[in-house]
Chains A and B, each alone.
Chain A
Amino acid sequence: MLFNSVQFIYFFPIVLLLYFLSPYKWRWLVLLISSYYFYMSWNVDYVFLILFTTIISYGSAIQIEKSETKKTKKIYLAFSVIASLAVLFFYKYFNFIGSSLNDVFGSFNSAFEVPYLKLLLPVGISFYTFQTLSYTIDVYRGDIKTEKHFGIYALYVSFFPQLVAGPIERSTRLLPQFRKKHYLTFDNVVKGLKWVIFGFFMKLVIADRLSLYVDSVYNNVYQHSGLTFILATFLFAFQIFGDFAGYSSIAIGVARIMGYDLMTNFKRPYFATSISDFWHRWHISLSTWFKDYFYIPMGGSRVGVSRWYLNLFLTFLVSGLWHGANWTFVIWGALNGIYIVVENIFKLQVKKKQKISFYNRIMRTLIVFILVDFAWIFFRANNVTEAIYVINHIFDFSKEVFYDNKIFFYGIIGLTILFVHDLIVENTSDSVLENSKVNYKSVLYFAFLICLILFIGVFNGGQFIYFQF
């Protein structure tokens, strides 16, 4: 079920009503059933996978806590991690690894061939797998006590607002919230609705509109060149931002209405003044996940310099692979890894309290945007060959420029509003989304956004990009 579907318009108020009308002790059940229903609306069969991952991590965590020796704890942790990752690898990476191996075998004229399996990637599998991994690791580290109530734990894994595309929540933050009694308060509803409205604006007015242009270019790269590629790549930066940040905003808003507090996933990433600043603002829940459960366990920065650079690079490489089973994502991750290593070698970041001139800031923001946007070429291209074709022809102006005034017209309206909104928040730190203030200004702003969504939003744009991950 998509947030931007008619189904959800009926689903959410019913869930909300049932949730707040139910006695406190049964509320978890209302949410659990709703979450499983939400997930099953994609594919009933894949509910067994989420259930499997839930049972494995739940059982392992209890065994970890019960175990008295470090060795036994480690065995249970390894079992849980391997079992959860095995499901993820099988569904997400089997065909990718198979076809890559077949290419290698083919180059040696080997007759051996890894079979191609007809597998449909379960929606949100990377997100809930990471959420369960963080839980078992936290239990192993002693950062959190195990959740004995299987229903509540299952709800932690499947909580519908963030189930399919995050934010990837930590057990330490989310689990205690399921034990808390929530009330339908005016503040929560106002704050939640603001996030939801802004999320829909980003998704329907910006992302889905820009995708009309970006898709028609990137799905037919051999028919285009030059300025068309520059335009499509520029617009894709905002399409992916609108799509993913839009989803996160709606998730945060929906959860907030019910009284739950999900972590902020995006903080105006294209205002970043360095690559590391960008990764502190983009998909924060994933970046911090990788930092806590991959980068730091590998030694982080508390190792020799060359090992530190390697840790940084590997973290981004694996993060690229997390996004998708395709070499394009691996290269995208590697590129970002190279950026971050180079930035650290030359110490190009702006320090926390360091003041920089307006001109310096603009130049930095521009350079970071260009670098990030260049990497997006690999993220968006259908395969590596096409990505390289785009790069090779980005300054080839021999072909006619493909333009669609209608898309540009609506795109400019949406992007201007987003730019002004983010610019104000960036410079005043007063986010209209973060507070529950209701005044004439916010009433006007959100009424205007709703009208704009209805009037120029794209309503058949389909699903969110990050669902495929």
Chain B
Amino acid sequence: MNKTYSKHIILFLVLIFAIDFFSGILFSKKFNDVKFGDYGVINKSLNFDAEILILGSSRAVHHYNSNIFSTNLKKACYNAGFGGQGLFLNYALLKESIERHPPKVVILDVAPNILDDKESYSKLNLLLPYYKKYPSFKEIIQLNPKFSKLELVSNLYIYNSILYDVTRNFLLKEKESNFGFEPLEGMLNQNNFKPFHLENDEIDSNKIIYLNKIIDLCKFNNIRLIGVVSPTYLKFDKKNRIINRLKFIFNENKMKFYDYSAYSKLYQKNEFFKDQLHLNKIGADIFSRDLVEKIKL
């Protein structure tokens, strides 16, 4: 290998390390300001001092109108639901919220697949930018069997796919007033029906552990925890062992558990649903108002 080659190799490596290093500095600063996209949702959830905190997956995001809860219960409410994530992220968000400003009420939306969603592990990588800053995030990221500490070597990798959100942040102004709630417009089209099965799914023991951790956190911090199965359009077997198991865990811990899966006001009425698992805005508002009444009691 001659001198010129060595020079080029050194330049090649220096370039990569320099770009990676300075990107790390730049994006660690810009990252916390991101208000759009997935990171925007998490950032806002981590920084909002909510008295009522709503947790769950996409069904939580689209079903609980934070403004209805705030107005009727006279408490600041934030919907920290996150599509595609489940109990692991719910736990991390709750833990960090408690560290900063413990909520008084936590509503945990338990989707029918909350205990068996195997995909949620691979999605944990999305949370890498929070790994170093928040210990609870570090804990849940490590649950991903495919996670390797090698992934933390590169800043560019840690902030992978953030460019779009940062660019949007730079170009657009935030107009949000829904406090995490994302209403869905439109109506369910029965022609698009693609039935799926929720029966006989294996329960993931890690999910049970993290549900118990959420319960313990609430108990220890005197937070009122309410478990809710929000409405589904699907015919949903009440004997489903996942829901029964959830009900049992909540009852055992003397926590309220409401099953709205076959809620007569909305059940199988197309005009209130966007798809089989998600209410549209009209349905979400009806459900939120009715749940508020129940919680008040």
On whether A455 and B125 interact (CB within 8 A), knowing A409-B164, A443-B15, A447-B19, the answer reads: no
CB atoms of B12 and A456 under 8 A apart:
no
Hey, which chain B residues are within 8 Å of A450, CB to CB? 16
CB atoms of B5 and A444 under 8 A apart:
no
A388-434, CB < 8 A from B = 405-406, 409-410
Tell me whether A86 is interfacial, beta carbon within 8 Å.
no
CB atoms of B163 and A456 under 8 A apart:
yes
Partner of A447, one of B5, B12, B161: B12
Tell me whether A457 is interfacial, beta carbon within 8 Å.
yes
Within the assembled complex, what's the spacing in Å between the Cα atoms of A83 and B8? 52
Within the assembled complex, what's the spacing in Å between the Cα atoms of A222 and B191? 8
A109 to chain B, nearest CB (A): 29
Within the assembled complex, what's the spacing in Å between the Cα atoms of A53 and B23? 51
Within the assembled complex, what's the spacing in Å between the Cα atoms of A459 and B8? 28
CB atoms of B150 and A447 under 8 A apart:
no
Hey, which chain A residues are within 8 Å of B12, CB to CB? 443, 446-447
Tell me whether A40 is interfacial, beta carbon within 8 Å.
no
Hey, which chain B residues are within 8 Å of A444, CB to CB? 15
Nearest residue in A to B153 (C-beta to C-beta)?
A454
Partner of B160, one of A9, A438, A455: A455
Tell me whether B148 is interfacial, beta carbon within 8 Å.
yes
Partner of A457, one of B16, B148, B160: B160
Partner of B154, one of A410, A438, A454: A454
Hey, which chain A residues are within 8 Å of B239, CB to CB? none
Nearest residue in A to B167 (C-beta to C-beta)?
A409
Tell me whether B122 is interfacial, beta carbon within 8 Å.
yes
CB atoms of A410 and B161 under 8 A apart:
yes
Partner of A460, one of B9, B122, B150: B122
On whether A6 and B150 interact (CB within 8 A), knowing A451-B156, A454-B157, A459-B125, the answer reads: yes
CB atoms of B164 and A410 under 8 A apart:
yes
B1-59, CB < 8 A from A = 1, 4-5, 8-9, 11-12, 15-16, 19-20, 23, 37
Within the assembled complex, what's the spacing in Å between the Cα atoms of A438 and B122? 38
What total of chain A residues lie within 8 Å of the partner, measured CB to CB? 26
CB atoms of B1 and A6 under 8 A apart:
no
Tell me whether A360 is interfacial, beta carbon within 8 Å.
no
Tell me whether B132 is interfacial, beta carbon within 8 Å.
no
Tell me whether B260 is interfacial, beta carbon within 8 Å.
no
Tell me whether A288 is interfacial, beta carbon within 8 Å.
no
Partner of A454, one of B15, B20, B148, B194: B20
Hey, which chain A residues are within 8 Å of B157, CB to CB? 454-455, 459
Nearest residue in A to B160 (C-beta to C-beta)?
A455
Nearest residue in B to A409 (C-beta to C-beta)?
B164
Interface string of A433-469 (1 = CB under 8 A from B): 0000011100110110011001111111000000000
Within the assembled complex, what's the spacing in Å between the Cα atoms of A438 and B8? 7
Within the assembled complex, what's the spacing in Å between the Cα atoms of A406 and B38? 11
Tell me whether B175 is interfacial, beta carbon within 8 Å.
no
Tell me whether A48 is interfacial, beta carbon within 8 Å.
no
Within the assembled complex, what's the spacing in Å between the Cα atoms of A456 and B160? 5
Tell me whether B200 is interfacial, beta carbon within 8 Å.
no
Hey, which chain A residues are within 8 Å of B167, CB to CB? 409
CB atoms of A6 and B161 under 8 A apart:
no
On whether A447 and B15 interact (CB within 8 A), knowing A222-B192, A405-B164, the answer reads: yes
Hey, which chain A residues are within 8 Å of B194, CB to CB? 220, 222
Tell me whether B131 is interfacial, beta carbon within 8 Å.
no
Partner of B150, one of A9, A186, A223, A443: A9
16 residue pairs from A and B, CB less than 8 Å apart: A6-B146, A186-B1, A220-B192, A220-B194, A222-B191, A223-B192, A406-B161, A438-B4, A438-B8, A440-B11, A443-B8, A443-B15, A447-B15, A454-B156, A455-B156, A455-B157
Given contacts A457-B160, A458-B161, 13 further A-B contacts (CB under 8 A): A222-B191, A222-B192, A405-B164, A410-B161, A438-B9, A439-B8, A444-B15, A446-B12, A447-B16, A451-B19, A451-B156, A455-B23, A456-B160
Chain A residues at the B interface, C-beta cutoff of 8 Å: 6, 9, 186, 220, 222-223, 405-406, 409-410, 438-440, 443-444, 446-447, 450-451, 454-460
- What are the nearest 5 A-B pairs in CB distance? A454-B156, A447-B15, A455-B156, A454-B157, A438-B8
